[in-house]
Homo-oligomer: A and B are copies of this chain.
C-alpha cells in the first residue's frame, strides 16, 4: 500500500468546509470513539485481537475504522483512524499495555526526571516507529472510497506526559503535577520532546492521507489556568504552527480538544486551530459569543444522554444544534468519547436527529437570511 497511488475523489466534504468557515447546507457530524467498544462488530474483533494489535495491523485498523461508516451509512460525515494517543509514548520507548476493563497501563512509568535518558529514546524515528499508523491511514483512505474525509490525531504533550508519569489513569494526576511543580525545567524538556514527535507524526499522517487532524488534550482541565498557560497552551500552539509550516499548501484543518479547560476557550481560539472541540459543560450560545466566529466549534452533547432514551436524546440534540446553529462554523459531536455500553440504536438516533434538526435549522437560517437581504434591498 503506498500513498503515491491517487486517492479516490471525495464525495462529502461537509466537515472540511465547516472547519474552513465556509457555509454548509447542514452541520456535519461525527462522534469521538465512533469506532469502538459500543459496536458489536468491534467487540467481535477484540475477541480475536488485542487492542494494540488492531492499531498495529493496517488491515485491522482499516476494518474497524470503517465499521461505523458502514453501519451508519450516510449518517457520519467523517471517519477517524483507529489508533490510540499512547502510540507516541510507545514510539518514544515506553511499554504500554491495554488492560481489559481497566484501560492503559505502563508497567515502567517515568518516576523521576533522572530516568528520562534511560527510559526514552534520544532520537525517535517516527517513520520507523509509527509507519504502521501511516500505512493504516493510506489503506483506510483508499477503502473509504471518498465517502467521507479521514481524520488523523495525536494526544497533546501534557496529556501524554501525564500518562507517562502516572502509568495509567489517575483521579488526581498527583505524580505528573509533582513534576510540573517540583521539576518545571525537566517537565518542559519532556513536553518539548513529546511535541517534536507530535509534529512529525501529524505531518506524516497528512502525507499518508489524513484530511483533517485533531489534537486531544484530554487532561487539560486538570490544570488551573495559570499552569495550563505554562504546560499545555504553548505546546498546543507550537503543534498547530509547526505542522502547518511543514505542510505548506498541503495543510489540512486542525482541531484542538482541551477537555475541561473551559477557562482557555478564547486562547484556544487564537492559536492556529480551525476548530475548537468543546466538552458538555459549555453552553453553545455562550461559547459562540465568546469565540466570535474566529473558529469552528465542535461538540458537545453529554455522552451520557445516549443512556437517557429517545426523548432525552432528541431534546438534547435540538438544544445543541439550535444553540450552535447549523450552517456555519459548527461540527456536531459529543462532548467526549462515546461510552462502551451505549446501545447502537441510541447512536443512530443521535446521528439522525442531528441531520433532521440541522436541516430544519438550515432552512430557518436561510429564510432569515433571505428576509434580511430583502430588508437591505428594500
Chain A interfacial positions (CB closer than 8 Å to B): 172-174, 177-178, 180-182, 221, 223-227, 260-263, 280-283, 286, 300, 302-305, 307-309, 312, 319, 335, 339, 341
Is there contact, CB below 8 Å, between B304 and A173?
Answer: yes
Is there contact, CB below 8 Å, between B312 and A226?
Answer: no
CA distance A339 to B171 in the complex (A): 11
Most buried by B among A181, A263, A286: A181
Is there contact, CB below 8 Å, between B226 and A319?
Answer: yes
Q: How many copies does the complex hold?
A: 2
CB contact between A181 and one of B300, B309, B341 (< 8 Å): that residue: B309
Nearest Cβ in chain B — how far from A20, in angstroms? 28
CB contact between A307 and one of B177, B260, B309 (< 8 Å): that residue: B177
Residues of B contacting A227 with CB < 8 Å?
A: 302
Nearest B-chain residue to A307, judged by Cβ = B178
Residues of B contacting A180 with CB < 8 Å?
A: 308
Residues of B contacting A280 with CB < 8 Å?
A: 224
CB contact between A263 and one of B261, B282, B304 (< 8 Å): that residue: B282
Nearest Cβ in chain B — how far from A44, in angstroms? 23
Closest 10 CB pairs of A and B: A181-B308, A177-B304, A181-B312, A224-B280, A178-B307, A182-B309, A225-B283, A182-B308, A174-B304, A262-B262
